[in-house]
Structure 1
Amino acid sequence: MPQPWNAAAIAEKFGIAAADLAIEVIPHSADGVEYESVLLFNKAAPPTTGILAVPNYFGMRQQALEIAAATVSAGHAVFVADVFGTHLRPATPDEAVAAITPLKKDRAELRKRMNAVLEVFRGQQKIRIAADKFGACGFCFGGTAALELARSGADVRGTVSLHGALDTPAPETSKIRGAVLVLHGVQDPSVPRERVNGFIDEMSAANVDWQLVNYGQAGHSFTDPEANAPGFFYHRQTAGRASVALKNFFGELFA
């Protein structure tokens, strides 16, 4: 049964009238697993660019759609990616950690799922987006997933990680083709300084167009209004600044 999404709340975050919001549940399958991603776009001003957005470790839920809409905005079609499958909808932090742990350990599988959902996005007939007008972003675990998509050599113009993990098992094998923007909270205990430095070394060695923005008052989960723990907390000012940075990044790439 389809999730009863609160379209009005999503439209408000998107900055458009509820009547103008197209919200489509997109079923897809791979390797015997059923998935349901969600396509969001402004019917009143059909987009010509698309952003694949990967939620945090809770995966597909109302808040994931609202955060993606608020951060990316209605200037693009937004495809909120289900990378867990319909059988896996974490309800508690422990369940969410259990959901992402296998994918963090098996980056090849994570890359495979990310490339599969990108192709589903590319195949949507209700929007008209040129092959070179796709990007990706992700939040927390989703930032990790988006970076692994880029490292796999996927054809995306740009990738943005918002408070995601930055490490990868074999950085020397990265095949990044597009630009990269990392939006990082300095107080994030899950991404210590040595991992930030490792990411800098990886990007520099790959000779790609990359940027790293450090937010001094932010930790992990700074876009998540429900996050409230030491090192893992919402920071409204940083969430707003990160949204502006993401919009400027894709605005430059798609100009």
Structure 2
Amino acid sequence: MTAITTRTVEYSADGLTMIGHLALPAGVDRRPAVLLGPEGTGLSDVERGRADALAERGYVALAFDLHGGRYLGDPEEMLARCLPLLADPERMREIGHAALAVLHAEPRTDPERIAAVGYGTGGAIGLELGRDGVDLRVIGTVNALTTGRPGEAARIRCPVWVGVGSEDPIMPPAQRDAFVDEMRAAGVDWRLVVYGGALHAFHHPPVDHPVVPGVGYHPQHARRAWRDVVALLDECLPVTQ
């Protein structure tokens, strides 16, 4: 296993002091980078671990923050913050751009080779960066099939991959159809993977606090979704030694 280094990074966004997790691969050369967004509950050891796993594969990886260093385990508190955020593209873009600036400031980052990978709210932020015309190599999301403002998907300059559980009541078939229509109308290179029998946030291991209805872990599909994300990066943002 390749040695990596990690550190926390503080930066400002959405009126908060955000605390992200930066993972760096061994060496001193510039590497492709991944902006990693968490579920609506916020940055946790799950996303930190995924950033570390990406660094072990040779990427600079930043797991970014949503809530000023807090993890919102209370579903009501989480929804009270995330629902207005998801309804406000400019706020989502502000959070995404602030995290992206941290990646650009890291000397190990190759600024011309950056991907956005996210889960739930973090994935929606990645999509909004694409709709804002940010130069990304690929956008990959799980549980985030959010649609944008009319016409703005035409600004997406890279392939888009989305994964969703077939039984996800938060991203139901009608939402999937709306997202596909948006991507198709914009001429985006898109892919949709539906994981049979899976609920919302199926990729996230069980937590020790209440969750919103429709959330559930699916170990087999969680492993598959991670393999699919890794394969996506291997295709669109390969690490060259």
Cα distance, 1:69 vs. partner?
A: 4.2
Cα distance, 1:250 vs. partner?
A: 1.2
Matched residue, 2:223: 240
TM-score by length of 1: 0.83
Matched residue, 1:135: 115
CA distance in 2, matches of 1:200, 1:188: 16
Is the CA contact (8 Å cut-off) linking 1:179 and 1:209 kept in structure 2? yes
Cα distance, 1:169 vs. partner?
A: 4.5
Point out the more displaced range, 44-53 or 181-190.
44-53
CA distance in 2, matches of 1:47, 1:238: 33
Is the CA contact (8 Å cut-off) linking 2:95 and 2:125 kept in structure 1? no
Per-residue CA deviation, residues 37-66 of structure 1 (Å, 9 max, x unaligned), is 110123269671111001111212323312
Is the CA contact (8 Å cut-off) linking 2:13 and 2:94 kept in structure 1? no
Per-residue CA deviation, residues 100-159 of structure 1 (Å, 9 max, x unaligned), is 12211211111122112112111112x2x3222100111122122221121111111101
Q: Which amino acid aligns with 1:99?
A: R
Q: Matched residue of 2:56: which SS?
A: coil
Is the CA contact (8 Å cut-off) linking 1:67 and 1:223 kept in structure 2? no
1:79 lines up with 2:62 in the alignment: yes
Q: Which amino acid aligns with 1:59?
A: G
CA distance in 1, matches of 2:13, 2:22: 18
TM-score by length of 2: 0.87
Distance change in 2, residues 1:239/1:30 (3 Å): closer
Is the CA contact (8 Å cut-off) linking 1:90 and 1:99 kept in structure 2? no
CA distance in 2, matches of 1:83, 1:23: 19
Point out the more displaced range, 170-179 or 60-69.
60-69
Alignment counterpart, residue 146 of structure 2, candidates 167, 172, 186: 167
Matched residue, 1:250: 233
CA distance in 2, matches of 1:26, 1:94: 28
Matched residue, 2:214: 231
Q: Which amino acid aligns with 1:232?
A: V
CA distance in 2, matches of 1:237, 1:68: 21
Q: Matched residue of 1:103: which SS?
A: helix
CA distance in 2, matches of 1:33, 1:234: 30
Q: Tell which has more relative contact order, 1 or 2 (C-alpha 8 A, sep 6+).
A: 2
Q: What percent identity do the matched residue pairs reach?
A: 30
Q: Which amino acid aligns with 2:67?
A: F
Alignment counterpart, residue 7 of structure 2, candidates 24, 27, 34: 24
Structure 2: which 5+ residue stretches go unaligned? none
CA distance in 1, matches of 2:65, 2:96: 9
